[in-house]
Amino acid sequence: MRSLTKALAAATLGAALVASPAFAREDMDADKFVKMSDADKDGMVSKAEMMKMVEKMFDKHDSKKAGKLTREQAEAFLKELMKGGA
């Protein structure tokens, strides 16, 4: 469970970077991520909404349901996260 928490924390940091203009890159799509994560459609993403989306993406990449990502799975997860999700 501790590794899942660390992975989610790292993913949340990555998502925060997506939303930060200082780190904006062409392959990052904060608008897409906000639209996907914004469950209550208020135009903003709460911590709970973001964590739910990140957990869903983590579970998608944890193909063996081990609660952990290999380096390759983590790389794919981060690429998807930086593009704003699937």
Sequence-ordered list of residues with C-beta below 8 angstroms from that of 62, at least 6 positions apart, any chain:
68, 69, 73
The pLDDT of residue 7 is: 64
pTM for this predicted structure: 0.63
Banded model confidence at residue 22, pLDDT cuts 50, 70, 90: very low
| Token code pair at residue 34 | 């906000």
Give the distance from CA 27 to its chain's centroid. 14
Banded model confidence at residue 84, pLDDT cuts 50, 70, 90: confident
Find the domain containing 24 and state its range.
Answer: 2-82
Quote the number of domains for the chain.
1
Of residues 15 and 48, the one with the higher pLDDT is 48
Query: Helix, strand, or coil here: 78?
Result: helix
For 18, 30, 53, 73, 76, the CA distances from 3, given in Å and listed in that order, are 23, 26, 18, 14, 18
1: pLDDT strictly greater than 60: no
